[in-house]
Amino acid sequence: MTPRPVLSVDFGTTKTYFSKCPAEDPSPVSVDFGDGRDGLLTAILYRDGKDPLIGQTALDEFGEATTGERAGLRLVTNFKPEIALSGEARTAATDYLAAVLAEAGRQRLDVDPSVRQVLFGVPSEADDGYRAALKRVAEAAGYGTPEFVDEPKGALLYHLKQREISVDQALGGVLVVDFGGGTCDFALLEGGRVTHSWGDMLLGGRLFDDLFHQWLLDQNPGLEEDLKARGASYFVGTYLCREAKEFFSRSQARDRTTAVSKVFPRYGRFTDLTWEEFVERGTHYSPSRLIRQAFGAGAGNTLSDGERDLFLWFRKSLTEGLRSKGIANERITIVILSGGSSLWPFVPDILKEELPHLEDQAILRSDRPYAVISMGISVLPALKRKFARVRDALREELPVFIDEEIRPLLESRCALVEDRIVAWSRATIFQQGVGPVLERFRAKGGSLSSLRKELKKQVTLREADLRKTIGDALPLLLSGLRGEARELLAEWFSAHGIALPKRDFPLSADPAQRSDTILSTRAIGVEGMFDALQTVLGGLLTAVTAVLSGGAGTALIASGPVGFVLGGVLGASIAYLLARYGKEKARTFVEDLNLPPAVAGLLIDEGRIAALQEELSTNLRAHLEERLAPTRSQLEGHIQNLVLDEMNALNEINSF
């Protein structure tokens, strides 16, 4: 069956949002019904002999109506939570949703449900009764048979689609805070599923509209009576005060030290509104008669009078929910803010105070938090198809990625570490230790056995320094590797339109810090390095001894008058020892001989010293390469696992 484009509906208690998304491309758009704002108020105004009005127009028409006009009007709001329980609420919901389609038709908006897959958001706590009622309502209103998606999941999907969170983060503990005009809902998602949800049916942005209305009246004595006389109370109290509130909220989000003023020609003015006074008023807020009447117009909830602290109300809604559900703070790794009221700067402030383990970037909010749930819901089918394609592509490209990108990277990082260690060994062990000892031997002479001891001592003396050098060089491999590998992975994932997993490679060079250490001085084999050094130095001495024991006579005689005498004596002595006591005795004799400087200089000449230095470097490098080979393949394995985990996570998303 050919996938159809999607129409999604976030059917809210206060406001309802509609979004559309193409079948294959996760690019949702929020439907604008002509007022430049996302969504429509969930309100319907029945009028005698006329078609009902919906949305903000319904509320405004009722609010502006004279007492005489109101006789022919009936405003119904807050019907959405009641649809499973009340026939009147079901009728209002059906009429409202049908009127939305009619309005879309009048405005020539392309939202035809008959050619679309229709998805409705449902509150996470919605039971079967609610779902059945919503299905009946949607069908009767002309939306066909809808499918349901948990509302908080919409917010998660939106930010996933925006690549603001990675797939693995989406499967962690995500707290969605939906703070809208009329209600404040919380939901914890784990593994992409809602595990807990709670909320407050009264706490919403309209209380802040009311706060600003009271603030205006306080600053403009006599205005209330004046507005009443001119029939402008509703207009000023809702529309203008909401505008002022949003203006104030935006300016305070930028700078809370700025005072804000706003003039309403003919309707008074706000003068020098400060954050401090806003906090003071919010802390001691009492709902006005106007707002209590507005709450009374809907079914169910009523707002009692009396003072309350709006900030504490929000804080307690959060913390008491967490406590009563037994949710430890650490289970939450990401917070997503949705709903227009989440734009208030105090919202992230309180979240940071109550969830101090979260970094700033773990609290997400889109520029338009109003419509994220409906947009996220609409994107689900296209996102699932996209993730299935990405998963297949990652699987196919993984071997090539490892071979062409990761392997060369690992080789170059290992070479860097090898270079560091070899350069240090040359500069310290050879040039400061072995080299001067050999030069001294050349200048002053001595026995080969004492030279052997001295060389060994010079190497051993630097053991601690060598360990430290290796300890310092190894993190270079991991830190550089982490950064560069993540960059390559990010580029690869980005080419497929997904964000890089947040989790890091579980690797460490410090065994004291982590249990999953794969690199340590032990891994690189310090002891082995000493063996490699000693082997080369031992090889030098063996070669020199062999020269003395074997061809020494010839070599020394050929070297000149001194060598002629020495060569003669040595040759005769060694020949005697070999015949009388055997090879081993002869070797010991040679090594213990106290050689004069002239002979020492001839035996260990500058060419031999230079060759020794090169041989030491080559041997060390070979040893390091051999020791780092398993580490390299382990790192390859880690990166491979990271990609395999991501593929599994993409599978998980597909089960949403």
Partner 1 sequence: MADRYTPFGLVEPGDRVTVEREPVLRDETVVSKGLVRRVRS
The site for partner 1 (CB under 8 A) is made up of: 35, 53, 57, 60-61, 63-66, 69, 231, 235, 239
Question: How far is Cα 438 from Cα 541, in angstroms, rounded to an integer?
Answer: 11
Nearer to partner 1, 50 or 284 (CB): 50
To partner 1, the closest distance from the beta carbon of 66 in angstroms equals 6
- Inter-CA distances, 559 with 486, 541, 550, Å: 63, 20, 16
Nearer to partner 1, 70 or 284 (CB): 70
Question: How far is Cα 209 from Cα 185, in angstroms, rounded to an integer?
Answer: 19
To partner 1, the closest distance from the beta carbon of 40 in angstroms equals 14
Question: How far is Cα 336 from Cα 348, in angstroms, rounded to an integer?
Answer: 10
The rounded radius of gyration (Å) of the Cα atoms in the chain is 40
Nearer to partner 1, 55 or 571 (CB): 55
**Backbone phi, then psi, for 323, in 5-degree steps?**
-70, -45
Nearer to partner 1, 2 or 66 (CB): 66
Please spell the DSSP secondary structure of 400-465, one letter per residue.
HHIIIIIHHHHHHHHHHHHHHHHHHIIIIIIIIIIHHHHHHHHHH-B-HHHHHHHHHHHHHHTHHH
To partner 1, the closest distance from the beta carbon of 50 in angstroms equals 10
Of the candidates 570, 346, 292, 568, the one whose C-alpha atom is nearest the C-alpha of residue 448 is 570
Nearer to partner 1, 37 or 440 (CB): 37
- Spatial contact of 241 and 281, defined as CB atoms under 8 Å apart: no
- Spatial contact of 366 and 335, defined as CB atoms under 8 Å apart: no
Q: Using CB atoms within 10 A of its CB, is residue 557 exposed (0-12), middle (13-18) or buried (19+)?
A: middle
Structure-token match 């309005």, residue found: 103
To partner 1, the closest distance from the beta carbon of 224 in angstroms equals 19
Question: How far is Cα 446 from Cα 440, in angstroms, rounded to an integer?
Answer: 9
To partner 1, the closest distance from the beta carbon of 54 in angstroms equals 11
Length of the chain as a residue count: 656
To partner 1, the closest distance from the beta carbon of 356 in angstroms equals 42
Question: How far is Cα 464 from Cα 470, in angstroms, rounded to an integer?
Answer: 10
Nearer to partner 1, 61 or 164 (CB): 61
Nearer to partner 1, 63 or 113 (CB): 63
To partner 1, the closest distance from the beta carbon of 44 in angstroms equals 13
CB atoms within 10 A of CB 512: 7
Nearer to partner 1, 63 or 154 (CB): 63
Going through 247-369 in order, the beta strands assigned E by DSSP cover 260-263, 269-273, 334-338, 363-365
Alpha helices in 500-551 (DSSP H): 521-524, 526-549
- Spatial contact of 596 and 569, defined as CB atoms under 8 Å apart: no
To partner 1, the closest distance from the beta carbon of 383 in angstroms equals 35
- DSSP assignment letter at 95: H
Nearer to partner 1, 69 or 626 (CB): 69
Nearer to partner 1, 267 or 656 (CB): 267
To partner 1, the closest distance from the beta carbon of 76 in angstroms equals 16
To partner 1, the closest distance from the beta carbon of 237 in angstroms equals 13
To partner 1, the closest distance from the beta carbon of 31 in angstroms equals 18
Question: How far is Cα 165 from Cα 22, in angstroms, rounded to an integer?
Answer: 22
**Backbone phi, then psi, for 13, in 5-degree steps?**
-65, -40
Name residue 591's amino acid: E
- Spatial contact of 78 and 301, defined as CB atoms under 8 Å apart: yes
**Backbone phi, then psi, for 8, in 5-degree steps?**
-115, 150
Nearer to partner 1, 264 or 424 (CB): 264
- Spatial contact of 17 and 38, defined as CB atoms under 8 Å apart: yes
Nearer to partner 1, 34 or 129 (CB): 34
Nearer to partner 1, 230 or 284 (CB): 230
- Using left for φ > 0, alpha for ψ between -120 and 50, and beta otherwise, residue 350 falls in alpha
To partner 1, the closest distance from the beta carbon of 182 in angstroms equals 20
> Helix, strand, or coil here: 47?
strand
Nearer to partner 1, 5 or 55 (CB): 55
To partner 1, the closest distance from the beta carbon of 29 in angstroms equals 21
To partner 1, the closest distance from the beta carbon of 250 in angstroms equals 16
558 Cβ partners below 8 Å, 6+ apart? none
